[in-house]
Amino acid sequence: MRVAVLASGNGSNLQALLDAAREPSSPAVIALVVSNKATAGALARAAAAGVPTAVIAEDGQDAARLLALLAEHAIELVVLAGYLKKVPDDVVRSFRGRMLNVHPALLPAFGGAGMYGRRVHEAVLKSGAHVSGATVHLVDEQYDHGAIVAQWPVPVRSDDTAETLAARVLAVEHRLLPAVVLAFARFGAAPRADAAAAPGDPSVPLPHSLDDALAGR
């Protein structure tokens, strides 16, 4: 399955995907990396892996250019890995059921417009929650709102700072996102039904455990 990754920042999630898809036998191929920032670390990681890259308008609203790029590279699955811009609705509609996002909290809590990066973990700490985690979900026309595909819990420690919690969640993101992308590639992305999969009814069989998924069991 040909995958495009959209990223705005450092690209550690992209790197996890590149590493997981590196084997020639991998069912997923990272075929394109797109950023809204010419200086994004993700672009350098893609270039180092020999993956084609592109930069779209800073506002990310260049729907026609983005759709043309995805078509030109025969993309079947789009993954938002730290992409901070709103994906134009035309693109969301064209990839309904085939666009994933990773969020560093257990949605629907601690998500939505403006909830990204450090702000998410500060809100979790302020709430007194004892558990946070990572979420991979299908993308729809609202931030962090589409059907949840997979989540993985992370304990919150009493001495956590936003940085220590972020690091613990990020380590789980690096395992959860590749597991879901490989599952989509192995079992086929969600059917292009107009209605998103019912919440709690993932459209693809999920691995019994992250280790099973990463071992391809």
Catalytic machinery residues: 103
Using the rule CB under 6 A, which residue among 60, 82, 88, 146 binds ligand GRF?
A: 82
Among the listed ranges 22-30, 100-108, 155-163, 202-210, the one in contact with ligand GRF (CB under 6 A) is 100-108
Answer whether 78's CB lies under 8 Å from 57's CB.
Answer: no
Residue 135 binds to ligand GRF (criterion: CB under 6 A): no
Using the rule CB under 6 A, which residue among 79, 102, 156, 185 binds ligand GRF?
A: 102
Site string for ligand GRF, 147-186 (x = CB under 6 A): -----------------------x--x-------------
- What is the C-alpha separation between 154 and 132, in angstroms, rounded? 5
Residues 6+ apart with CB under 8 A from 113: 143
Q: Please report, as a single letter, which amino acid is at residue 1.
A: M
Instruction: Give the shortest CB-105-to-ligand GRF separation in angstroms.
Output: 8
- What is the C-alpha separation between 103 and 94, in angstroms, rounded? 22
Cβ-based nearer residue to ligand GRF, 10 or 188:
10
- What is the C-alpha separation between 210 and 217, in angstroms, rounded? 10
How many residues in the chain?
217
SS3 164: helix
Characterise 115 by phi-psi region: left (phi > 0), alpha (psi -120 to 50), beta (else).
Answer: beta
Residue 60 binds to ligand GRF (criterion: CB under 6 A): no
Residue 43 binds to ligand GRF (criterion: CB under 6 A): no
Instruction: Give the shortest CB-30-to-ligand GRF separation in angstroms.
Output: 13
Residue 81 binds to ligand GRF (criterion: CB under 6 A): yes
Residue 111 binds to ligand GRF (criterion: CB under 6 A): no
HSE value, Cβ hemisphere, 13 Å, CA-based, for 114: 2
Residue closest to ligand GRF when measured from CB atoms: 82
In angstroms, what CA-CA distances link 144 with 102, 131, 135, 138? Answer: 9, 19, 9, 9
Residue 144 binds to ligand GRF (criterion: CB under 6 A): no
Residue 106 binds to ligand GRF (criterion: CB under 6 A): no
Which positions lie near ligand GRF, rule CB under 6 A? 7, 9-14, 81-82, 102-104, 116, 170, 173
